[in-house]
A and B are shown apart, each in its own frame.
Chain A
């Protein structure tokens, strides 16, 4: 009989039991520490959330008050004003609107993180939302000298989603392309990817075959925004969809970059069980952003 099969003596048994108890005790103490740290962390998160809400509401209140002062100057509430003052009031109004938009974005992200955003999920045709958003965004893009092209076939692109929040996500990607493209064009595409084993030889609007092909599974609707803009470097790609994740060069082009835009898109798309991703061959080589949602 080998040593391993020798019966354990009561003394050895007690020794083993005591040793196991000590190990368990160590684990229990570690558990208590982790539990205590977790409680502290939850408390810090709560304090941070409440601070974000307090600050953003105060800031939004200030923007809103000055917005109405500027609006009052423009609509003559305060009497006749010179063209110079009107010009300044228009600039002030625009600046306040941007400030309010930023505060709303930060608040939305905070609410999405907390899970208090309730999505009204319905079967909707994504094409309608995309076309509506393009109609709204074409003006500002063309004003900047950019051409907007579309590659959207007549079809229904039904997804289960909240029309308001999906429009926010689509709006954000188109706005981003407009901001980060100095010249050239933006191509907005929408396509159906029927099934896992479907042929990939169908014409696609952009270079998305590889990434979209990886998604697999059931049918998908893929929305894309391709631009001839500043592109994305390898380093920036890592932080693109994170909270406060701004590209190294993004603030040079867009001084108002908050780092919350793409993060909010990711939170919205995640809530719709979809994927958001990008492709860029590098700096100054343009980029393409995709939102992929399950097809109903």
Chain B
């Protein structure tokens, strides 16, 4: 796993697509459609494309709701980096609120959800389950970054990939 969201791969040219989205719910669908179209063209199987779409939707939704606190003036930056054998998807908010670190490793259970008033908490868990690599970091200004990677033609590697590849 590389340490920087912008780290480049020395062996293959990168192509980067950037999306700058308003912090309003619903715009995550634009990001998931763009990433899905790109992943399909890269040759990812339909189930991997669906997994990426869901993971990205959750990351952007978190950025809108929590990181940027629904503030329309704040943007969510989505970067899609195409590499020869993988797609790197980064999501950054402007950090009105830093993500609760405890939530990043939480494994929710449906039985607990039945008795809690708040039945949420599934988003970050889904991201972790659906992509091959994921990294949550906080930028200097308090912005939250999520970096997700899905590998092309790699069936089992890392957490969650076994579920994805089948």
Partners in one complex: no
